[in-house]
Amino acid sequence: MATDLPLVELLLDTRDRTLDLVRDLTDDQLIVPHLEIVNPFTWELGHVAWFYEQWCLRKLRGLPPLREDGDALWNSMAVHHDTRWDLPMPSRAGTLAYMQSILDQCRDALLDRQLSEEEVYLHLYSVQHEDMHAEAFTWTRQTLAYPAPSMGVEPWERVEAGGLAGDVEVPEGTYRIGQEQDCGEWCFDNEKWAHDVELSAFQIARAPVTNAEYAEFVEADGYTRSEFWDEEGWKCLRMIESECPRYWRRVDGAWQRRHFDQWTLLPPHEPIVHVSWFEASAYCRWAKRRLPSEAEWEVAATGSKRGNLGWRALGPIDVGCLPETDSDCGCRQMLGNVWEWTADAFGPFPGFTPDMYKDYSAPWFGDHRVARGGCWATQPRMARRHYRNYAKPWRRDLFYGFRTCALSS
């Protein structure tokens, strides 16, 4: 994990971010409507704490569970999503007290002692697990049109930097992707281990597709022409009866976008966000482009510096911003701003073996698609070019966009 913070400070830092994302919400807002794409905040908060308890207290130290009903409430692999609204959950105060008790025990166990490799691994795992849920809390607020969160970070001054047109060329060759075993960096099991891939030369866009570029596809009747969609994507589109991205609407001839609870004119040079893999693929067919493979994306991201991350801008920024983040080949903002769909299904790297938390990766191989890079609501410590995010191809609620590659000549 790329951070200079000691382990105890990491635990406190990620918990501060989590609480920032819920402290302004009423008790009714914490319950949330019953939807397939979100969890009740109260359930998700308890689950985050339960994860620490399960791995850092019970597994490592053999401690008994703090609550006898904890597994029945918060074990995500055993508690089906649809049942989470009907569980006998503790009150808001009770949930926060449980979270604090687990945090106190973890913190006390880490002070003034030499930690084993297993202890470090599981605490870092739990921190990144909470980081992921903090991002999920953020997209839940967007889904439900709640106000933007008030985060405990100094906000960036937003600037208009415009677009960034054009491609860069990456030469053919043998490249390494995945995490190197001897690099000393923490990683998930699906990033293991580095291996060689053979790539033909390819051209990849310097920036993600912008709102203005995507609007051209929408206005070319892209959502009503089946030739741009694969069979599954077209079926999904017809089910949701959509003719534009999820949070767009047209008012008096102009496109607007909802960002949390505010409708504003569509920012033309920000990356398109909240589009599914199906939508990204359909745009590519219309534009006579394609999505990059996972390997192509990772190779193009070599040398990238971290950009718009950690809720600092509270949303995407223009794709032309932050030239200092350019990768070695000239791609901008590959780590931050918006997650980027790739062409590939999520699957194991050669020689894959699951880590101690066996349900993190393997259950999702095959029917999910890979996204890379991180977004504005991703913790900076999680943003690395090897990190593999994944989601079902129909998801439109996530902070996902895409960049494209030229078709081979």
Per-residue confidence at 131, pLDDT binned at 50, 70, 90? very high
pLDDT of residue 371: 98
Note the pLDDT tens digit of each residue in 309-345.
999 999 999 999 999 999 999 999 999 999 999 999 9
Alpha helices (H) along 272-366: 277-287, 294-300
pLDDT of residue 300: 98
Amino acid at 99: M
β-strands 369-372, 167-170 pairing: unpaired
Q: Is the CB of residue 202 less than 8 Å from the CB of residue 170?
A: yes
Q: What percent of the chain has pLDDT over 90?
A: 89
Asked if pLDDT for residue 254 goes beyond 70, the answer is: yes
Phi, psi dihedrals of residue 48, rounded to the nearest 5° = -60, -45
Distance CA 50, CA 47 (A): 5
CA distances from 366 to 114, 195, 389, 392 (A): 40, 20, 14, 10
The backbone region for 333, taken as left when phi is positive above 0, alpha when psi lies in -120 to 50, beta otherwise, is left
Phi, psi dihedrals of residue 150, rounded to the nearest 5° = -100, 100
Mean pLDDT across 169-198: 95
Count Cβ atoms below 10 Å from residue 24 Cβ, excluding itself. 13
Token duo for residue 392: 């079902």
Enumerate domains of the chain plus CATH numbers.
7-143 (1.20.120.450), 167-406 (3.90.1580.10)
Distance CA 54, CA 314 (A): 32
Mean pLDDT across 181-195: 93
Note the pLDDT tens digit of each residue in 259-311.
999 999 999 999 999 999 999 999 999 999 999 999 999 999 999 999 999 99
- How is 19-42 classified by DSSP, letter by letter? HHTTTTS-HHHHH----TT---HH
Mean pLDDT across 18-36: 94
Mean pLDDT across 61-75: 95
Note the pLDDT tens digit of each residue in 363-381.
999 999 999 999 999 999 9
Mean pLDDT across 60-80: 94
Q: Is the CB of residue 43 less than 8 Å from the CB of residue 90?
A: no
Asked if pLDDT for residue 183 goes beyond 90, the answer is: no
Per-residue confidence at 2, pLDDT binned at 50, 70, 90? very low
CA-wise closest residue to 12 among 133, 94, 127: 127
Asked if pLDDT for residue 230 goes beyond 70, the answer is: yes
CA-wise closest residue to 372 among 349, 344, 341: 341
Asked if pLDDT for residue 114 goes beyond 90, the answer is: no
Total-model pTM: 0.96
Note the pLDDT tens digit of each residue in 384-393.
999 999 999 9
Mean pLDDT across 148-171: 90
DSSP, collapsed to helix, strand or coil, labels residue 51 as: helix
pLDDT of residue 155: 78
Mean pLDDT across 56-68: 94
Token duo for residue 13: 């830092």
The DSSP letter of residue 380 is G
Mean pLDDT across 193-216: 98
CA distances from 138 to 49, 66, 277, 319, 355 (A): 18, 28, 20, 21, 28
pLDDT of residue 409: 66
Distance CA 71, CA 78 (A): 8
Per-residue confidence at 5, pLDDT binned at 50, 70, 90? low
CA-wise closest residue to 22 among 167, 144, 165, 137: 137
Per-residue confidence at 214, pLDDT binned at 50, 70, 90? very high
β-strands 405-406, 369-372 pairing: unpaired
Asked if pLDDT for residue 50 goes beyond 90, the answer is: yes
Mean pLDDT across 152-172: 90
